[in-house]
Chain A
Amino acid sequence: MRQEIRICGFGGQGVITASVILGKAAAVYDNLIACQSQSYGPEARGGAARAEVIIDDKPIGCPGVHVADILIAMSLEAFTRYGRDVKPDGTIIIDPDLVATSDLPERAYPIPATRIAENLGNTVVANIVMLGAVTAITGVVSEEAIHASTVKSVPARFKELNERALAAGMAAGRELKGLGRG
């Protein structure tokens, strides 16, 4: 069941944080095997950020993602770079406000994570909205696990905001899934 997930965008969007929360959900709360890695430049913000999570029910050898089962792209640059490295039956989730391109495949799930986060009061939780969406669309981790991992990973005073972001992401994901996208 090896699932290779790539989350990418630009520095500061919480791409790496999202990958850590997803990996922790699988490894600690769903009792699966997970391996998370990231690549980033020396810049603190603004450069390209890419994180990878592999989830499996048996020990993980190669820790790198080559052709992803799931791609979450939160910038046009990230989609342009990694949009093709997805399996034919793989899942693509994008933020349509940030990935505005005519190249988008029909099967892509548009989740306006940044706009949803903004409506919740803080764009910083856009990454958590995406985690809610990917959970609802793919079931790669359980809803209980992603919730537990998120709550454990964020500062206590932002617990409620993150829970709302997660719920909003799940709702958006379920809605698209119900429409038969993908």
Chain B
Amino acid sequence: MDRALIRRALGDKVQFIQGDDACAYGALLAGCNFFAGYPITPATEVAEQMSILLPLVGGCYIQMEDEIASMGALVGASWTGAKTMTSTSGPGFSLMQENLGYAIMTETPCVVVNVQRSGPSTGQPTMGAYGDMMQARWGTHGDHEIIMLCPASVQESLDMTIVAFNLSEQFRTPVLLFIDGELGHMRERLVIPDDDEVEIVNRPMFNGQGKYLPFATDASLVPTFAPFGSGHRTYVTGLTHNEQGLPRSSSAEIHDKLIRRLADKINNHRDQIIRYEEFYADDCDIAIITYGITARTCRDVVEQARSKGIKVGMLRLITIWPFPDDLVARWAERVQAILVPEMNLGQMIHPIREAVAGRCKVAPLFRIGGEIHTPVEILTALEELQCQLC
């Protein structure tokens, strides 16, 4: 893609734009040249922005008949070598699950943005929520790993969308970028990074030497890629397949090897995937573990609580899946209690409890209805926890 064209399409270096727009900008900077989607509040602006931007840089935008087809189009386009993205919200993400699994099984790079709203079903279209965290992990059937990032600001939405593309290319797997209706529609200052500040990773390509085995791998566990039309024979199937890509769905051995490799290629590289931020990590009795927009309020509260003598620290998860259980376990060893505020009725608290494994108390603070936690609410919860520890 022509970087100068991308620059011209994006416009001013400093802008005041929405989280949704920032995801589209990040996609363009990462080299996205194909978008297929179906509009849905509060994610529509991602699609709208892509429909404006992609034609300006020679990319392709397709408005599909639904979200099932959108995911299908991503898989097809990605196999021609395109960098692909779609965006949706809860109801659409539900429809994408089948082809999300297909993309995992066929090792097809693609990025799915989910601007979450309250569910189940059509729920509260214009309100934010974080109710799809577990669906992201286990929404599609079968054993699998998934990569998911959860930014907390407009700038980070752009930055993490670029990271999402890079991880997707590096590991040849779908990557989920989750924000919510609140962040998606919130405007903040955005500084568009210069080209030398943007790292771009491309999927490992077949070098043309020897026979092409589309699903054979080296120690990276990621197979090399030859796009459709490059002259190499590739068979792409969701069935259990051998290194040639041919269906071998009755072999326990081939299935076991394939599915473990798909999991290992992500799990063995957790240190390259997991991103987080810590505050007052070394001097605290209580920790808040948080993610997404809620983390912003938590950060304010940490300062307020410390000025009141409550020794609280904070771990903000940016990578949600694979879950950083070692990191959470280390926090659990240092503190007496962990507060988990979530904009759902308890989702990430489950892997947190599993990682904590009884080392300290884990206290929930759940809020639903579409509004973010208030600082007072979180501070009160911390004060109550502090009292219980005394």
* A interface residues with partner B (beta carbon < 8 Å): 20, 23-24, 27-28, 33-42, 60-64, 66
Secondary structure dominating the interface of A: mixed
Min CB distance A16 to B, Å, is: 10
Question: In chain B between 334 and 390, which residues have their CB closer than 8 angstroms to a CB of chain A?
Answer: 371-372, 374-376
Q: Does B187 lie within 8 Å of A23, measured CB to CB?
A: yes
With an 8 A cutoff between CB atoms, is B131 at the interface?
A: no
What is the size, in residues, of chain B's interface with A at 8 Å between Cβ atoms?
A: 23
From B83-91, B107-115, B227-235, B292-300, give the one contacting chain A. Answer: B292-300
Secondary structure dominating the interface of B: mixed
Closest 10 CB pairs of A and B: A61-B300, A27-B189, A24-B16, A62-B297, A36-B187, A61-B299, A61-B296, A37-B186, A27-B16, A62-B300
With an 8 A cutoff between CB atoms, is B48 at the interface?
A: no
Which of B12, B185, B297, B299 has a CB less than 8 Å from the CB of A37? B185
With an 8 A cutoff between CB atoms, is B145 at the interface?
A: no
Contact A62/B186 with A23-B16, A24-B16, A42-B125 known, Cβ cut-off 8 Å: no
With an 8 A cutoff between CB atoms, is B159 at the interface?
A: no
Can you report 16 residue pairs joining A to B where beta carbons are below 8 Å apart?
Answer: A20-B16, A23-B187, A24-B187, A27-B16, A27-B189, A28-B12, A28-B16, A36-B187, A37-B186, A42-B125, A61-B299, A61-B300, A62-B296, A62-B297, A64-B297, A66-B376
Q: How far is the CA of A63 from the CA of B182 in the complex (A)?
A: 9
Min CB distance B115 to A, Å, is: 14
Q: Does B187 lie within 8 Å of A62, measured CB to CB?
A: no
Q: Which residues of A contact B376 (CB under 8 A)?
A: 66
With an 8 A cutoff between CB atoms, is B126 at the interface?
A: yes
With an 8 A cutoff between CB atoms, is B188 at the interface?
A: yes
Min CB distance A43 to B, Å, is: 11
Q: Which residues of A contact B300 (CB under 8 A)?
A: 61-62
With an 8 A cutoff between CB atoms, is B14 at the interface?
A: yes
Question: In chain B between 285 and 339, which residues have their CB closer than 8 angstroms to a CB of chain A?
Answer: 293, 296-300
With an 8 A cutoff between CB atoms, is B249 at the interface?
A: no
Question: Of residues B125, B126, B189, which shows the largest number of chain A Cβ atoms within 10 Å of its Cβ?
Answer: B189
Q: Which residues of B contact A42 (CB under 8 A)?
A: 125-126
Q: Does B188 lie within 8 Å of A28, measured CB to CB?
A: no
Q: Does B372 lie within 8 Å of A36, measured CB to CB?
A: no
With an 8 A cutoff between CB atoms, is B15 at the interface?
A: yes
Min CB distance A3 to B, Å, is: 15
Min CB distance A60 to B, Å, is: 7
Q: Which residues of B contact A37 (CB under 8 A)?
A: 182, 185-187
Contact A38/B372 with A28-B14, A28-B15 known, Cβ cut-off 8 Å: no
Min CB distance A130 to B, Å, is: 18
Contact A28/B189 with A20-B16, A62-B300 known, Cβ cut-off 8 Å: yes
Q: Which residues of A contact B16 (CB under 8 A)?
A: 20, 23-24, 27-28, 34, 36
Q: How far is the CA of A44 from the CA of B297 in the complex (A)?
A: 30
Min CB distance B153 to A, Å, is: 9
